[in-house]
Amino acid sequence: MCLGIPMKIKKIKGDFADVEAGRLIRTVNIQMLSRIREGDYCLVHAGFAIEKIDPQRAKDTLRLIDEIH
């Protein structure tokens, strides 16, 4: 089973981006997403942005994760 966490793109630096989910900030590889922009949401797994997702879907998922945590 693979778990992708929705994260917001804060700053793009070449093939990498700083992403944020709540208080968690990471740098991830964005090479698989050719049209990703700052402010977009994406699923992150193992240090890679693997899929761009709808902002509302991301916020709903993050809210559910926060309720569990």
Global pTM?
0.90
The answer to whether residues 50 and 42 touch, using CB atoms and an 8 Å cutoff, is yes
CATH code given to domain 5-68:
2.30.30.140
Other beta carbons within 10 angstroms of residue 13's beta carbon come to: 9
Residues 19-29 have pLDDT tens digits of 999 889 999 99
The answer to whether residues 40 and 27 touch, using CB atoms and an 8 Å cutoff, is no
Residues 36-56 have pLDDT tens digits of 999 999 999 999 999 999 999
Q: Give residues with Cβ within 8 angstroms of 69, minimum separation 6.
A: none
Report the alpha-carbon distance of residue 29 to residue 11 in Å, rounded. 12
